[in-house]
Every structure is written in structure tokens, then in C-alpha cells.
Amino acid sequence: MGETTITPMVMGDYLAPDGRNAGSRILIVAYLIRTDGATILFDSGFPWDGATVFNEGDLPIETFPRSLTDALDRIGASLGSIDAVANCHLHVDHGGGNFRLGELPIFVQRKEFAAARDPDHAIDWAVALDAANYQVIDGEREIAPGITVVPTPGHTAGHQSLVVETGDGKVALIGQAVPSASDYALMAYHAQLDAEGDARHPPLPEWWPRIASAAPVEVRFAHDLAVWRDEG
């Protein structure tokens, strides 16, 4: 296998209205994966071209989008160079740019595709469920040589991640299944405790064995530019 590159692209951010990060600007990170055989986009960012207040339920959320085409241009790519797309899920900050993708195949879990019909889950025109070229799948699927979709439900029932084979080992792009590198590190420690027979920790998510069995050397996130690395 030739060289595989995984390039993060900051697609903007939003002002967290509540929770542990209230008042912080939360990054939105998409990824472009380039292999010898394919170029895959993981997530498409917001649908808007400028700062917008988006109401999620009763909460107004200030969003600060960045252009998908500009982000691709900065890394020497374009929409025309992409072969396929996968979304970790179809919330507005991850699948909001899908309406821009023309005939590109977009891989999504069946549960996520169904949930996106609910206007509280997705914005109809942005995710373009009846116009974009969605490839609806169930479970794991290799969508290009060395790039496999893995279900990681939790944040949404149809959330999915990517496992990418590289020359240095496998890399997991885990979307919003875990908020940050530090949260993932804590889960990895809990898994280590489990292996030692110590169950005094919160339960690991149902999907954990799927990602752990891939033995990723790196894990990357949709809302964190930090990278978790297996220190062996």
C-alpha cells in the first residue's frame, strides 16, 4: 500500500450554550483522506456561508462556519478531487454541507438516514436526503481500499467512525463518538482496568470492542484537534 495521508480541516466552530464547555468555542473538524486509490471526505461542516444563530430546540447557538471549498483549496484539494464522502452523523455541523456535494456518494448508516427525517435531528435542505447520492449501509463496510466504516452508536443511534489503514498502522476517525482525546484516553484506561479484572469504572460503550480490535495507533476527533496515540 502506498502513502496514505489524513488531513484535518477546521470547518468553523460554535459557541457552546451550556454543559461543561459553556461559553467555549467548539471546533468542527472534518478530514480528507488521500490514498493511492481514493480520496474520501469525512464530514462536510455547516451549511451556512457566514455567522448564523441556529436554534437547537429552545437553545440559540451561535455558529461561525468556514467554507468547505476554501478548506479544501488550502490543502491542495477540491470537490472535484473527492471520490466519496462519509458522515459520522447528520447533525448540522457534520453533514450540513452535504447539499454541496452533487453526485458524490455519501455513506451513512441506515439508522442515521432514517433519523435525519426528523427536523429536530437534521436540516432538510442541508442534508438533502432526497437529492444527494446517499449510500445507505448497515454495519461495517469497506468504502475504499483500506478505509472501513465502523458503527459507533451513542451520540446518535446511527453514528459511525472510519478506520483507515496507513503505513504507520490504523487510524480511527471517531467523529463525535467521544468528545476529545482526553476522554478517549480515559476510556482506554478503563479498558485496561477491565483487562486486569477491575470493573470499578463507568461501563465502556457498546462499540468499544469494534474500535479496540482494530488496534489504532492514532485516534482523531470531530471536535478536538488533539490526537490520541497508542504509547504501547
> What are the extents of the domains in the chain?
5-174
Q: What is the pLDDT of residues 131-158, one digit of tens each?
A: 999 999 999 999 999 999 999 999 999 9
User: 160 near 112, Cβ under 8 Å?
Assistant: yes
Which of 57 and 179 is assigned the larger pLDDT?
179
Work out the average pLDDT over 5-18. 96
| Distance linking the first and last C-alpha atoms of the chain | 24
Mean pLDDT computed over 2-10: 93
Kindly report, residue by residue over 45-103, the tens digit of the pLDDT. Answer: 999 999 999 988 788 999 999 999 999 999 999 999 999 999 999 999 999 999 999 99
| Nearest alpha carbon to residue 217 among 192, 194, 188 | 188
| Top-level class of domain 5-174 | alpha beta
SS3 139: coil
Q: If pLDDT is split at 50, 70 and 90, which confidence band does 231 have? A: confident
